């Protein structure tokens, strides 16, 4: 039995749909002339429709299939406005500092606009258009647009804007950035020939912006002199240099045991509410006065949490050298999806200009969820945990853009601190394992340590830096060489000590030392330490200086000793800061520590007698 085939009218015999749009209704005789002319030009039967669109202002726009011939007045004015904007950016790239200069720029703009209008010659614009087939939840499918490119910006009638993400045989899938409320089925869509980009440059420092670069801090418009594509190739191997310059986070436990270098990608991972964002924010605050610029990208965070973080940065004086990119939980998934790429483009601008940049992605777990939502709406086949197959690639191409550039490329660097949230401490989940395999190490924050009062709750057994001591000053490298091992052994021995078994003297000494190490490494939020202060604190852990100090007094002892050295031995702090070495000041530190211990013992003795 032969299959039944649906009979269709041959393409050559089917009427071609033609739409003529004008600002005002046309006389019947003019409509008849246009219909006859179009039928003759097309050379086949047509279905002609006339529509009114007051937004055209004048002239006519003809749509033949997926092609539009636009000879309207609104299109001509838009061209003049675009040319005038280019002229103004070239003539006044910097905002006028005073009123007379501003008046001069305005006068020049009016003169240029007048010349453009007088010399205007109407030329119809032929362009390709598509039609929205379906739209919802920030995603649209558009029929037509056979020449659309992946990543190209699309313009929707009514002012909406989106980006092509999927290319199918009969349609394109795009994510909507703006104007989602005005887009409906049947809306006309046009290719722009532009790739998604954001404003970049010094003008963004100290500002809070959306992933599209629009300000949301109420401080006025951002007149950036440059723009950069949100997607870009990562530097090649020949363009990179080894990571060797330390990036101080101001956190003793991190800088001593999990050092971070400029150009490194260090993952911060742990359960929710374990201090991941606090470490990243403290790292930003620690860059004050170091020349390192910062970009903080908030992805899927509550608006109240983002406002609190911005408030902390402003309070600590870190906002003037920081750009905050906000893709909050209330924003559509497409904006959350492009947020880290937009922030990376802003950081890349400084990196390729020879500057050092620190960028924080907070967090990539929510970015992966936003990408999954967009992919499922675009009907991509789901994989493990319903994530699309390219979930590894979207984070890989993002984090690979962080690098330490060679001198030939300017010598700039971009250090990435991505944050990933785990569930019940499961580091073997899909997104954590992906990001661990991409990055150069991870700082693992453990819930049990956090809730037991050990903060920052860094688990040294699961934390690692693949750069290691190359990103430490010599004094820090020398003093912290055995710190990881001592702390890891203490954590292991303390588990056995809970059973109350008899322990030998060596084990007891190791437990006592481990208890004091834990106390010294405790640090509150916003208590960032300079490298010379960290060296002085680590010096107290060398040898047996703290063995006779009570455990509950250890932290107070070390902090007071730091104040003692800072006030009584300023040359010691200066030499550590300038040389980064311990040899020249070792004897001075030992002498200061002996004198301080005598005073401390006297104070403790008088306190015991009074008690």
Residue 100 located in a structural domain: no
User: What is the rounded end-to-end Cα distance, in angstroms, of the chain?
Assistant: 106
Judge whether 336 lies within some domain.
yes
Q: Are residues 313 and 443 in the same domain?
A: yes
Maximum Cα interatomic distance, the chain, rounded to a whole number of Å = 113
**Domain-embedded: residue 232:** no
Q: Which residues of 78-109 are buried (b: 16+ CB within 10 A; e: fewer)?
A: eeeeeeeeeeeeeebeeeeeeeeeeeeeeeeb
CA–CA separation, 457 and 451 (whole Å):
9
Clarify whether residues 280 and 316 are in a common domain: yes
- Kindly state whether residue 532 falls inside one of the protein's structural domains: yes
- Rounded to 5°, angle at Cα 440 from 435 and 443: 75
Kindly state whether residues 262 and 149 are assigned to the same domain. no
Which amino acids are annotated catalytic?
466
Peptide bond into 363 cis (omega under 30): yes
Do 449 and 512 belong together in one domain? no
Closest CA to 532 of 473, 482, 584, 591: 473
Domain that holds residue 576: 483-610
Same domain, 300 and 449: yes
What pLDDT, on the 0 to 100 scale, is given for residue 527?
92
Residue whose token pair is 């040898």 = 543
Which pLDDT score, from 0 to 100, does residue 500 have? 58
pLDDT recorded at residue 120: 60
CA pair distance 411, 416, nearest whole angstrom: 16
Asked if residue 429 and residue 374 are part of one domain, the reply reads yes
* Residues 399 and 460 reside in one and the same domain: yes
Q: What is the pLDDT of residue 96?
A: 47
Point out the domain boundary residue: 417, 442, 472.
472
Distances (CA, A) of 228 to 212, 213, 215, 352: 11, 11, 17, 12
- How many domains are there within the chain? 3
- 129: domain CATH number is 2.40.30.20
Q: Is residue 540 part of a domain?
A: yes
Last residue of a domain, one of 447, 472, 497: 472
CA distance 195 to 300: 24
- Rounded Cα distance, 563 and 80, in Å: 66
What is the CATH classification number for the domain harbouring 461?
3.40.50.300
Taking 70 as the pLDDT cut, the residues of the chain under it are 1-14, 84, 86-110, 112-125, 498-501, 601-611
Residue 22 within any structural domain of the chain: no
Same domain, 550 and 572: yes
pLDDT of residue 9: 43
Residue 471 C-beta-side C-alpha neighbours within 13 Å: 28
Q: Which of 472, 494, 525 is the last residue of a domain?
A: 472
Strand 413-421 versus strand 356-362 pairing type: parallel
Could you tell me if 443 and 511 lie in one domain?
no
pLDDT of residue 493: 83
Q: Tally Cβ neighbours within 10 Å of residue 278.
A: 19
Q: What is the pLDDT of residues 562-577, one digit of tens each?
A: 999 999 899 999 999 9
CA dihedral 137, 139, 144, 149 (to 10 degrees): 170
Say if CB 413 and CB 439 are below 8 A apart.
no
Q: Are residues 245 and 306 in the same domain?
A: yes
Q: How far apart are CA 58 and CA 79, in angstroms?
A: 15
Examine the domain organization and report whether 508 and 437 are in the same domain.
no
Q: What is the torsional sign of CA 350, 352, 354, 358?
A: positive
362 in any annotated domain: yes
Q: How confident is the model at residue 265, as a pLDDT?
A: 97
Same domain, 151 and 260: no
Residues in the chain: 611
Query: What is the secondary structure of 583-596 as a DSSP string?
Result: TTTHHHHHHHHHHH
Q: What is the pLDDT of residues 402-451, one digit of tens each?
A: 999 999 999 999 999 999 999 989 999 999 999 999 999 999 999 999 99
**Residue 590's CATH number:** 1.20.150.20
Give a yes or no: residue 234 inside a domain: no
């Amino acid at each position: 039995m032969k299959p039944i085939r649906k009979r269709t009218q041959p393409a050559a015999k089917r009427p071609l749909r033609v739409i003529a749009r004008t600002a005002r209704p046309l006389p019947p005789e003019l409509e008849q002339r246009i219909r006859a002319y179009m039928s003759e030009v097309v050379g086949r039967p047509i279905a002609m429709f006339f529509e009114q669109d007051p937004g055209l202002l004048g002239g006519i726009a003809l749509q033949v299939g997926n092609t539009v011939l636009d000879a309207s007045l609104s299109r001509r004015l838009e061209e003049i406005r675009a040319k005038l904007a280019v002229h103004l950016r070239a003539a006044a790239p910097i905002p006028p500092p005073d009123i007379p200069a501003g008046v001069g720029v305005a006068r020049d703009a009016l003169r240029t606009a007048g010349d453009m209008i007088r010399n205007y010659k109407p030329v119809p614009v032929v362009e390709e258009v598509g039609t929205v087939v379906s739209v919802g939840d920030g995603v649209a499918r558009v029929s037509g647009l056979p020449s659309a490119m992946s990543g190209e910006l699309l313009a929707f009638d009514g002012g909406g804007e989106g980006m092509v993400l999927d290319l199918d045989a009969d349609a394109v899938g795009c994510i909507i950035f703006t104007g989602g409320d005005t887009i409906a089925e049947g809306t006309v869509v046009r290719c722009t020939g532009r790739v998604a980009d954001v404003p970049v440059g010094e003008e963004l420092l100290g500002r809070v912006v959306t992933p599209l670069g629009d300000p949301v801090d109420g401080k006025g418009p951002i007149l950036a002199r440059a723009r950069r594509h949100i997607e870009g190739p990562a530097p090649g191997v020949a363009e990179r240099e080894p990571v060797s310059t330390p990036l101080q986070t101001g956190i003793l436990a991190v800088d001593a045991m999990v050092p971070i270098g400029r150009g490194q990608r260090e993952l911060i991972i742990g359960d929710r509410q374990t201090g991941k964002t606090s470490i990243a924010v403290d790292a930003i605050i620690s860059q004050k006065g170091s020349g390192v610029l910062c970009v903080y990208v908030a992805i899927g965070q509550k608006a109240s949490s983002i406002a609190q973080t911005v408030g902390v940065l402003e309070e600590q004086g870190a906002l003037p050298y920081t750009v905050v990119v906000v893709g909050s939980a209330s924003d559509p998934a497409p904006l959350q999806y492009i947020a880290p790429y937009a922030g990376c483009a802003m950081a890349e601008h400084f990196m390729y200009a020879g500057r050092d940049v620190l960028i924080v992605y907070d967090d990539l777990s929510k970015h992966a969820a936003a990408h999954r939502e967009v992919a499922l709406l675009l009907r991509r086949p789901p994989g493990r945990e319903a994530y699309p197959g390219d979930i590894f690639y979207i984070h890989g191409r993002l984090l690979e853009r962080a690098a330490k550039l060679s001198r030939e490329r300017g010598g700039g660097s971009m250090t990435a601190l991505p944050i990933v949230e785990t569930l019940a401490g499961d580091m073997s989940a899909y997104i954590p394992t992906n990001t661990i395999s991409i990055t150069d190490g991870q700082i693992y924050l453990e819930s049990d340590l956090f809730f037991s009062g050990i903060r920052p709750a860094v688990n040294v057994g699961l934390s690692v830096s693949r750069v290691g001591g190359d990103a430490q000053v010599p004094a820090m490298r020398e003093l912290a060489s055995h710190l990881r091992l001592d702390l890891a052994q203490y954590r292991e021995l303390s588990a056995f000590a809970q059973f109350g078994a008899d322990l030998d003297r060596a084990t007891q000494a190791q437990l006592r030392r481990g208890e004091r190490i834990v106390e010294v490494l405790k640090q509150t939020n916003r208590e960032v330490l300079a490298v010379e202060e960290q060296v002085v604190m680590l010096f107290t852990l060398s040898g047996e200086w703290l063995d006779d100090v009570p455990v509950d007094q250890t932290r107070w002892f070390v902090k007071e000793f730091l104040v003692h050295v800072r006030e009584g031995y300023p040359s010691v702090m200066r030499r550590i800061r300038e040389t980064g070495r311990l040899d020249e000041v070792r004897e001075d530190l030992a002498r200061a520590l002996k004198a301080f211990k005598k005073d401390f013992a006297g104070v403790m003795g008088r306190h015991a007698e009074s008690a």
